Amino acid sequence: MSIRRKWMLGFLSAALTVSLTGTAAALAKTPQRQANAVSQAAIAASLTDMPEALRPSIEWVYNNRMLKENSVGRKNLIFDQIFAGKGTINYVVRWQSPKNLTLQQRQDIERMLGRQLNNWTKHLKGYDGWPYGDIPVKVVGWAVANPAQILNKQPHEIVYTQTIVDELSRTDPRIPSALPVAPSALSRFEHFNDRNYVYPGGLDKRFDMYLWATANFGGGAGGDWGQRMSDEYILSTVNNYEVHIMEHEIGHGFGLPDFYGAQDRPPGGFPLPTIMWAGNSTTITDWDAWLLRYTWSQLKKDAQRFQP
């Protein structure tokens, strides 16, 4: 599986932003945050309601980055996953770590995933034909190298113990070599091209994405396959209202790009900060929300792509 690895530079840049603002970390933990707050007045809007100050940069990014790079061409974006799951998202947590997981931690991780996904999708509620409200997010399996790591396992919890070798461990010995995997037969990523595919046990048993926690992993990576970051980062932020790296990587799952180099950014710059530019914002902003909405408005023109 091909992924884009983001090294510590982006992470440290974001951390510097938080330290300079002083209160940003605290604000990120509460829905009443003020910094870079997303306007709730726009939620029931249509594309014609996009603020004119945002339009040039958003249209440039969509046309010159997302279309040219084909980041929205694969019909396995989180938009597609939600439709295919009838308004739901399922995860498997890929725990590539020697740490044990308590029942409380597992429950917290599931709630965290729901918060971060809905921090994006709430901006689609009532917007331009988007048919869903809150998106239920469920962890349907835990993939671990050692099942004893799942403490106080509950009867309904499913644990997968098959592993493969993580190629990253061959060049970075700090990365655990054993990489837990869930059955490919249950993976939407493996079967999204087949509309007639039947998941063993039914649709509720499938998983749309991995939350991939890797010991000693720097920064984060994301795509339509899921999100990868360190086990320490996940556990230390699991109860935050907004988890910066997690939300950034989920953005990639919707097809939104990075903005590392000057050539990647709109010629006129950004009128507002964006979480998709590492270190520029630690929270989802109005600019991000409107890029998400604009993307939906363009993709929904394909009448065959989205069928509830």
Q: Which helix (H) or strand (E) holds 250?
A: helix 244-253
Q: Which helix (H) or strand (E) holds 142?
A: strand 137-144
pLDDT digits (tens, 9 = 90+) for 260-288: 999 999 999 999 999 999 889 999 999 99
Least reliable range by pLDDT among 16-20, 69-73, 262-266, 279-283 = 16-20
Q: Which of 87, 144, 140, 141 is nearest to 117 (CA)?
A: 87
- Mean local confidence (pLDDT), 34-49: 58
Q: State the pLDDT at residue 308.
A: 67
Least reliable range by pLDDT among 12-16, 118-122, 187-191, 197-201 = 12-16
Q: Are 74 and 253 in contact (CB under 8 A)?
A: no
Q: In 3-state terms, what secondary structure has residue 131?
A: coil
- Mean local confidence (pLDDT), 45-70: 96
How many residues appear in the chain? 308
Could you give the dihedral angle defined by the CA atoms of residues 170, 176, 180 and 181, in that order, rounded to the nearest 10 degrees?
-30
**Residue 248 and residue 258: Cα distance in Å, rounded?**
9
Q: What is the DSSP string of 41-102?
A: GGTT--GGGS-TTTHHHHHHHIIIIITTTTTTTSTTSHHHHHHHTTS-EEEEEEEESSS-B-
- Mean local confidence (pLDDT), 194-205: 96
